[in-house]
Amino acid sequence: MHAVCIDAPFLASAFDPYAGASPVARDCHVDILSSLMYRAERNNLDALTRLAAASHMDAAWTAVAQILRTAPNHADRVVRAAPWDALHPDVQTIILSAADPNDVCAAIAFVRSVRGDAPWITYLTARAFFAAVTPAVWTALPKERQHT
């Protein structure tokens, strides 16, 4: 296994090229990717999610899920990086199950019609809401929910 010495703030710079790489290139560097994913932090969630969605690597989704379990308030980074339907079901479940104590997850649960009441509107909840909404979900929302 190769030793990887990249500080956590710069991991996104490493994840993004692998997200756009071919499956063969990712397979050739699986040891490096595993090491990078192990070091990922909540500030790397967007790039890590892009990698997971592009590669369908279970290890990448596991890393996303582990971070979300301890930092659900960063779920907006996940839904901004990949469409809801592209997220691994475990990641969706973690986000939706954190809706009670967490307003960002509550906004996502609201737009996914899992939660009936909208959270207090803040910059973070609005960002999460609009990242998770799709035209079909928006159109299906009653007018009063759209207005809220």
- Each residue of 85-120: pLDDT tens digit? 999 999 999 999 999 989 999 999 998 888 878 788
Quick one: tokens of 46? 């967007």
Q: Domain for residue 35, yes or no?
A: yes
pLDDT-wise least confident of 2-16, 21-35, 86-100, 127-141? 2-16
Q: Domain for residue 29, yes or no?
A: yes
Q: What does the pLDDT average to over 133-138?
A: 83
Q: Domain for residue 126, yes or no?
A: yes
Q: Domain for residue 50, yes or no?
A: yes
Q: Domain for residue 53, yes or no?
A: yes
How many domains, in total, are found in the chain?
A: 1
Q: What does the pLDDT average to over 113-136?
A: 85
Q: Domain for residue 3, yes or no?
A: no
- Decide which of 145 and 7 is more confident: 145
pTM of the model: 0.85
Q: Domain for residue 1, yes or no?
A: no
Q: Domain for residue 122, yes or no?
A: yes
Residue 123: domain span: 8-147
